Amino acid sequence: MAVLRCLADADHAGHPSSAEALGRATGIAAPTIRQLMQALAHASLVSSVAGPHGGYWIICEPRETSMRVVIEAMEGPIDPAFCDLLGVACENTDEHCVLHRMWRTAQDGFAKDLTRLTLDEVLAGRVA
């Protein structure tokens, strides 16, 4: 999220942020920044321009963009059919896993919270 905070600050200043500048501000290597930005651009959350004065900027409306969209753009889908505990496809049955119901409830709650939470709230530090 530090990368998005830096992008928002640059956007308010009226200029794009280079991967190098974002890297210096966040401590994240520029190649990693480029990979993150590519994923966010693919999801139409940021855009970029090449060149010496180029860089990245947020193109989505932060008040209308859920954190679920942001997280899934960077990490892939939040998949309740996948068991994060065992790293395999979930068989969706309580008889095979005593934690199934509890884990599924936690995953569903997390996904709902991310859907309700907006990028704007995170950037402004208004996370309850």
> pLDDT (tens digit, 9 = 90+) per residue, 51-107?
988 999 999 999 999 999 999 999 888 876 667 666 667 666 656 677 777 877 888
What's the CA gap between 61 and 101, in Å, rounded? Answer: 36
What local confidence, expressed as pLDDT, does residue 2 receive? 75
> pLDDT (tens digit, 9 = 90+) per residue, 26-47?
888 999 999 999 999 999 999 9
Which listed CATH number (2.60.40.2480, 3.30.379.10, 1.10.10.10, 1.20.1440.120) goes with 2-58?
A: 1.10.10.10
CA dihedral sign of residues 94, 97, 102, 107: negative
What local confidence, expressed as pLDDT, does residue 81 receive? 67
**30 or 128, higher pLDDT:** 30
AA identity, residue 128: A
If we measure between CA atoms, which residue out of 126, 122, 125, 19 comes closest to residue 66? 122
- Please report, for the chain, the start and end positions of each structural domain, with discontinuous segments joined by +: 2-58, 77-123
What local confidence, expressed as pLDDT, does residue 91 receive? 66
What local confidence, expressed as pLDDT, does residue 123 receive? 87
Tell me the Ramachandran region of residue 27: left when phi exceeds 0, alpha when psi lies from -120 to 50, beta otherwise: left
What local confidence, expressed as pLDDT, does residue 104 receive? 79
